[in-house]
Amino acid sequence: MSVDVRRTAVAYEAYIDGERVGTLTYSRHRGVVTAMHTEVSPNAKGKGVGSTLARALLDEARQAGRTVDAQCPFVAGWIDRHQEYADLLTG
């Protein structure tokens, strides 16, 4: 099983076999990416969808030289468990 991620202007969307199974909404303003909300379909829970979305947002923020405001509790908790991303957090 492979999770494909597509970025739109307002969200990262996760797909498995062509079906959208997760979304992480965000906004960008002055070099800060704000992770707002992560949602995963019940049939995809436990398959790493949320982690894949969080990693996609964080990796792209790092590549672009942006910081991250983790307003989304899932993303904040994910960063707590993956300290290699903690340097991206604002303030």
Q: What is the pLDDT along the chain (91 residues), one digit of tens a residue?
A: 799 999 999 999 999 999 999 999 999 999 999 999 999 999 999 999 999 999 999 999 999 999 999 999 999 999 999 999 999 999 7
Q: What are phi and psi of 66, to 5 degrees?
A: -100, 160
Count of structural domains within the chain: 1
Per-residue pLDDT tens over the stretch 49-68: 999 999 999 999 999 999 99
67 strand-pairing partners: 32
Any idea which residue has 């405001």 for tokens? 69
**Domain extent at residue 82:** 4-88
Could you tell me the pTM of the whole model? 0.95
Pairing of strands 32-40, 67-70: parallel
**CATH code, 12:** 3.40.630.30
Within 10 Å of residue 67's Cβ, how many Cβ atoms? 16
